[in-house]
A and B are shown apart, each in its own frame.
Chain A
Amino acid sequence: MCKTAYRWFPLLIGATALSMIGSLYLVFVYAPTEQMMGFVQRIFYFHVPAAWVGFLAFGVAFIAAMTFLVRRELGWDMLQIASVEIGILFSTMALVSGSLWARPVWNTWWTWDPRLTTTLVMWLYYVSTLLLRRIVEGEERRARFAAMLNVIGFINVPLVFLAIRLWRTIHPVLFTTQGFAMETSMLLTLAASLLAFTLLFACLLVIRMRLERLNNEIGRLKQSLTMLANEQRGVP
């Protein structure tokens, strides 16, 4: 599985770079300036894809976690580590970019709005799971606990969307019942950004998994060396 991925990897990087450059152009040159918020509205083209990738990453982690619990192969654990870390990274970007946007538009850095609250809670939850990983001893147990937490934690993602159905929110809503509340050129720019970020996610995932694999390999080698050394010295 990994060998084929690595062969296509340069292609993936190339595609990501191209789409990034393309969407940067679209965001800063092509897209029209929004009438109410002005130039700062362009954060939208970073904020939304970042949030989207966060959710996607946690979804991938969810699937990897369930597969791990069934098949108990450490490869799936590597996928869940990578996904969760990248998910946290992009969720942080979404929270920060949202905050930067909120300041000029809502005149506050933060508010306990349902969407913001649920997103923050999701962020806190996944950060806690990372912390747990550092503290739990035993590779298999660590993977198993993380998998359990990732399976349960995924409920946070639909909750972010559901929260605004249940309570009123001041956060702008994209997908209303009347369809997209946006001009086509903006939609196009958004689509391009989404693509760029998703490709970036794929790149980072591959890199992070490779890192994890190499790390494990080093661990394995270290252990074999220690065992060999012990045997030479006659230590049981």
Chain B
Amino acid sequence: MRSWCSVAAIVAKDVAAELRSKETLSSMFIFALLVVVMFNFAFELRVDNVRQIAPGVLWVAFAFAGVLGFNRSFVLERENGCIEGLMLLPVERSTIYLGKFLGNVLFMLIAEALILPIFSVLFDLSILHPLLWLVVALGTVGLAAAGTFLAAMAVNTRAREIMLPILLFPVTVPVMIAATKATGQILDGRPVAELYAWLRLLLAFNLVFTLLAFLGFEYVLEE
């Protein structure tokens, strides 16, 4: 389908630009790493069993890394007015959303793949659960769906660095809760049946938000 070619082209372009500058992924990774290390360090001094807070730490790290990534993906477009270049293309605005959204998911997944081993070492927890990867993927999709949409708005404001987290965190509370709970249950080795409610919530949020953002992106971009 023609639109998917366009979406793929946008993702490819973002990947090519990233390979050239290597700014986004490295800052996402470093930031997430800092969060994981700092939280581990800070709580080690006070909490007996650091593993209790591990899921929360992981998802906070992912969320902050995500915010960095989403912001950068649109700051990149602001330079030289490239967002207008995208708007001039003979595609629907929602195609642009999909392209940026999938690019963001990709970058987040890469950063997360790099963080997870370190997390595993610091908190002494095994991450070799396919279900865990599923939860990470679903949570990432949720964060990226909301983040891409809100970043497109936030990047137009004066205080763009602070605006995105302020908007994003209330919106993605369902994702954070579900992802953290599910991660905790998997790491604790709870039976799979207990996961279903959280997985359902993640899926529902992802579907609803992606659809809303897809339809509404036109209003965000227009002048």
Contacts and interface: CB of A to CB of B under 8 A. Distances in A.
A117 B157 CA distance: 29
Contact of A152 (B173, B212, B222, B223): B212
Contacts of B174: 159
Contacts of B212: 152
With most chain B CB atoms within 10 A of its CB, the pick from A135, A137, A159 is A135
A166 B204 CA distance: 14
B219 A152 contact: no
Interface of B is mostly: helix
Interface stretch (B19-27, B67-75, B163-171): B163-171
A215 interface: no
Interface in A113-137: 117, 121-122, 124-125, 128-129, 131-132, 135-137
B193 interface: no
Nearest to B168: A128
A43 B215 CA distance: 43
Interface residues of B, number: 22
Contacts of B156: 136-137, 141, 145
A128 B157 CA distance: 13
B208 to A, nearest CB: 8
Given A125-B171, A132-B163, A69 B153 contact: no
B159 A145 contact: no
Contacts of A124: 169-170
A121 B166 CA distance: 12
Interface of A: 69, 117, 121-122, 124-125, 128-129, 131-132, 135-137, 141, 144-145, 147-149, 151-152, 155, 159, 166
Interface in B160-182: 163, 166-167, 169-171, 173-174
B117 interface: no
Given A141-B156, A148-B153, A135 B163 contact: yes
Given A135-B158, A135-B159, A152 B167 contact: no
Contacts of B113: none
Given A135-B157, A137-B158, A148 B166 contact: no
A18 B208 CA distance: 44
Interface in B103-156: 153-154, 156
A155 B211 CA distance: 14
B154 to A, nearest CB: 8
Contacts of A117: 173
Nearest to B213: A152
B170 A128 contact: yes
A147 B167 CA distance: 14
Interface of B: 153-154, 156-159, 163, 166-167, 169-171, 173-174, 197, 208, 212, 216, 219-220, 222-223
A124 B172 CA distance: 12
A125 B170 contact: yes
Nearest to B157: A135
Contacts of B157: 132, 135-137
Contacts of B158: 135, 137
B220 A145 contact: yes
Nearest to A140: B223
Nearest to B166: A128
A128 B216 contact: no
A69 B219 contact: yes
A128 B167 contact: yes
Nearest to B165: A128
A55 B156 CA distance: 29
A145 B163 contact: no
A104 to B, nearest CB: 29
A166 B173 CA distance: 16
Name the 5 nearest CB pairs between A and B, nearest first.
Answer: A125-B170, A135-B157, A124-B170, A121-B173, A128-B166
Contacts of A155: 208
10 contacts: A69-B219, A117-B173, A125-B170, A125-B171, A132-B154, A132-B166, A135-B163, A136-B156, A147-B219, A151-B216
A26 B170 CA distance: 38
